[in-house]
Amino acid sequence: MKKKNMAKTVLVTGGCGFIGANFVRLILETRQDWRVINLDKLTYAGNLHNLEDVSGHPNYRFVRGDICDQTLLDNLFSEEQIDTVVHFAAESHVDRSITGPAEFIQTNITGTFTLLEAAKKQWLDNGQKNEQCRFLHVSTDEVYGSLGATGFFTEQTSYDPRSPYSASKASSDHLVRAYFHTYGLPILITNCSNNYGPYQFPEKLIPLVLNNGMQGKELPVYGDGGNVRDWLYVQDHCEAIVQVVEQGRRGEAYNIGGHNEKNNLQVVELLCDMLDKKLGLLPSGKARRSLITFVKDRLGHDRRYAIDADKIDQELGWTPKYTFEQGIEKTVTWYLDNQEWMESVMDGSYQEYYTKMYGK
Ligand code: NAD
Ligand code: TYD
């Protein structure tokens, strides 16, 4: 399709991951005049099945590649006349960042820098600059560190990252902001709380508990289970991102949260009860809560995250549409209805799909 018919040409990085895939699908469903170029390296977290149903959409193109590859990025920017970037691609799991931080530094910091350079070259140095250009960096509330029993993260909260993951995201946020102040690159940053929903890799708490709970395996709870997260349904996050791209003020950061604090034990117990109700008790006749196992705490485990999302509400009129009860019901139903997806992720066969589709 020709560029002139398109209101936006969006480079989505990491579109085969959890949030990216939900975002790409939302755009193709709701924004007929956006063309989407999905650039994804297909690491262990990238799964082509996540977008199988839209892979033939006329407004969609998939490119396998690394955001650290400057030549690839420069070519994509000029060939596709990219005017919008929504940057999801990252190493995203805190536990992996503790055991192997190098990839986090490479992708999250060097990768973001490389992408900023490509956007700067195309939009500022080569003069494509127009009112429409936007570079949105999708970031996390974890950059703000850990809260005590009270208080919330606002956009003014000082950065205080504690894990290699959050430190790498904080670093990339700083670089993105620096490109605004130094070069005038039209950036936006969103700092969002914990997401849950379809297509999340089962290393993260909710899909891990669902997967183990379906199979009657142990449910590991770190420490005393009292760590608090502010859970947001992924569709709400994606809608917030669309609003920030369309209406956000350049150079600004927006916190996105669910107004939904739960401690980990509460979440795990709720999931156990939902699975018992939908699947019946375990073959042993026991309830799934009996699978809960308290394990050694995560190193440097942040105690509590909670978002003050007033700014995005006041400025852009965004609030979450899904209550936790609605979102978690949709999520549990999705994982029960998509056990093949889970099996292909667990046995690694999802990674062969690229070879089948593209032959190399
Ligand atoms: P994910 O791990 O599910 O997906 C990451 C995607 O990025 C994968 O498809 C992977 O293949 C791709 N990728 C990784 N390295 C790449 C590289 N070098 N080049 C190109 N592609 C690469 O992550 P997610 O949970 O969907 O998170 C997406 C973004 O949102 C991340 O930037 C994360 O920091 C941020 N975020 C996540 C949450 C959450 O709760 N999951 C909350 C707030 C912010
Ligand atoms: P996670 O889903 O990894 O997200 P994040 O670390 O980015 O918040 O973890 C959510 C919370 O659940 C966090 O406090 C760690 C805890 N957790 C467990 O107790 N057991 C687990 O098996 C996992 C993966 C996480």
Confidence of residue 3 (pLDDT cuts 50, 70, 90): very low
Task: Give residue 360's pLDDT.
Answer: 65
Residue 360 lies in a domain: no
Average pLDDT over residues 250-254: 98
> Which of ligand 2's atoms lies nearest the C-alpha of 194?
8
Q: What is the CATH number of the domain that holds 245?
A: 3.40.50.720
Average pLDDT over residues 42-52: 96
Average pLDDT over residues 94-100: 98
Residue 193 lies in a domain: yes
This prediction has a pTM of: 0.97
Phi-psi region of 159 (alpha: psi -120 to 50; beta: other; left: phi over 0): beta
Q: 40 lies in which domain range?
A: 8-201+232-260+303-324
Residue 269 lies in a domain: no
Ligand 1 pocket test target in 62, 68, 85, 88 with most atoms within 8 Å of CB = 88
Confidence of residue 57 (pLDDT cuts 50, 70, 90): very high
| Three-class secondary structure assignment of 277-297 | HHHCCCCCCCCHHHHEEEECC
List, as one string, the DSSP characters of 94-143: HHHHHH-THHHIIIIIIIHHHHHHHHHIIIIISS---TT-EEEEEEEGGG
Average pLDDT over residues 63-85: 97
C-alpha of residue 139 to centroid of ligand 1, in Å? 10
Average pLDDT over residues 92-104: 98
Average pLDDT over residues 313-334: 98
Query: Of 66, 83, 141, 236, which residue is the catalytic one?
Result: 141
Confidence of residue 6 (pLDDT cuts 50, 70, 90): low
DSSP 74: H
Give the total number of structural domains in the chain.
1
Residue 355 lies in a domain: no
Confidence of residue 204 (pLDDT cuts 50, 70, 90): very high
* Cα(141)–Cα(70) distance, integer angstroms: 28
Q: What residue's CA is closest to ligand 2, atom 20?
A: 221
- 159 pLDDT higher than 60: yes
Is 335 a residue of the active site?
A: no
92 lines ligand 2 (CB under 6 A): no
- 132 pLDDT higher than 70: yes
Lowest mean pLDDT among 222-236, 260-274, 338-352: 338-352
* Cα(235)–Cα(114) distance, integer angstroms: 28
Task: Give residue 130's pLDDT.
Answer: 73
Residue 243 lies in a domain: yes
Task: Give residue 20's pLDDT.
Answer: 98
Task: Give residue 264's pLDDT.
Answer: 98
Average pLDDT over residues 264-274: 98
Residue 331 lies in a domain: no
Residue 332 lies in a domain: no
Residue 298 lies in a domain: no
C-alpha of residue 158 to centroid of ligand 2, in Å? 23
DSSP 353: H
Q: In this structure, how many other beta carbons lie within 10 angstroms of the beta carbon of residue 327?
A: 23
Lowest mean pLDDT among 86-90, 126-130, 164-168: 126-130
- 177 pLDDT higher than 60: yes
